[in-house]
Amino acid sequence: MSALEIIAVIISLIGVTLTIQRNMWCWWFNFLACALYAYFFFTIKLYGETILQFFFIVMNIYGFYYWLKGKRQDHVIRIESIAKTTVLTQMVIAMVFGLLFGLILKHFTDAAVPMLDSQLVAFSLLATYWTSRKHIATWILWIFVNIIYVGMFIYKEVFLTAGLYAAFVGLATYGWWQWQQVKQKQQLQI
């Protein structure tokens, strides 16, 4: 456990908590957490996770912009629906991307767990995209992805980060519940 990992965990928890609250500051805390984790993951040979952090940085900029210009209701971020066919299509695309990325990691790097790492990267990107688009389904996907992350980080013996992702499971569950409550209120006001 390093000082870098401890700081990254704290900043990450703040970022996710602010995301649940639909607070615009979430994007800046998440941006900083990604930068810290990019370096940390590189040091433990999780190259997919390292690259993912750079995508997350770009998605944080996009998410901030989209939320800023997006629909607002009573000065809070309005939650949007997503069609089931869109969910399925995007999940298949993520799975194929994860497979292709995994093969690259497996054959061209010394990545620790290339196939698992790459699938987690693909589905994390999808979940982040859904978050930026304010889709409530993001929280369900994050629950499943984070459960698998816990196992991978335990395997890599980065227990503080495994604990962070276990906390993310709880936060994602709370986020889903919180956004459900907000969405119900939004529907009553239509």
Q: Is the pLDDT of residue 113 over 70?
A: yes
Domain coverage including residue 19: 3-188
User: What was the pLDDT predicted at 59?
Assistant: 86
Q: How many CA atoms lie within 13 A of 150 on its CB side?
A: 13
Residue 77 banded pLDDT, cuts 50, 70, 90: low
pTM of the full predicted structure? Answer: 0.84
The number of folded domains in the chain is 1
The stretch 80-106 carries a mean pLDDT of 95
pLDDT of residue 74: 47
Measured CA to CA, the distance from residue 48 to residue 42 in angstroms comes to 9
